[in-house]
Amino acid sequence: MEVILREDISNLGHRGDVVKVADGYGRNYLLPRKLAMEATAANKAVIEQMKASAVRRSAKEKSEAEQLVTQLNSVALVFTRKVGDHEQLFGSVTSADIAQGLAEKGFNVDRRKVHLDEPLKSTGEFHIPVKLHREVTAHVSVTVKGEEAPAE
């Protein structure tokens, strides 16, 4: 099945691309979520208009992301969590926690743009990449401090 992508989808393609996908993936995932539309003759004519608007939108998003990068690179977040033996955390610091910390500082960043391979489970200082645009990535400094667990 051929579909036209309406959004960038990792490992598949970019907005406006015509890609061939499995029938089930297209029918059950891409089309209901409005991530793609069927590649018919009429829709292919619409592609050109979509690509032109996508280029304009992408340029605007990239310029906004570049402005935000300069601000985000200087942001330092501090999280205090209870720790046990060997500086291991009870719980962890996740991408949602980092996105919430950025929101408290006035930056509206979606948690899916914060790229953590796995949640932070130890104390220390980390540099976390935040992918704001396909070509623009900021790095936020995150410090995880320990708060001693109550002795029992």
pLDDT tens-place string over residues 117-136: 888 888 889 999 998 888 88
Residue ranges of the chain that CATH labels 3.40.5.10: 2-62
- Residue among 94, 3, 10 nearest 50 (CA): 3
In CATH, the number for domain 2-62 is 3.40.5.10
For residue 9, what pLDDT is reported?
87
Strand partners, 125: 143
CB 139 within 8 A of CB 127: yes
Compute the C-alpha angle 25/31/36, nearest 5°. Answer: 100
pLDDT tens-place string over residues 75-127: 899 999 888 877 788 888 999 999 999 999 988 888 888 988 888 888 889 99
Half-sphere exposure of 45 (CA within 13 A, CB side): 2
User: Which range scores top for mean pLDDT: 25-34, 52-61, 111-120?
Assistant: 25-34
Choices 2.30.30.40, 1.10.3720.10, 3.30.420.10, 3.10.430.100: CATH for 71-148? 3.10.430.100
Residue ranges of the chain that CATH labels 3.10.430.100: 71-148
Cβ neighbours around 142 below 10 Å, total: 22
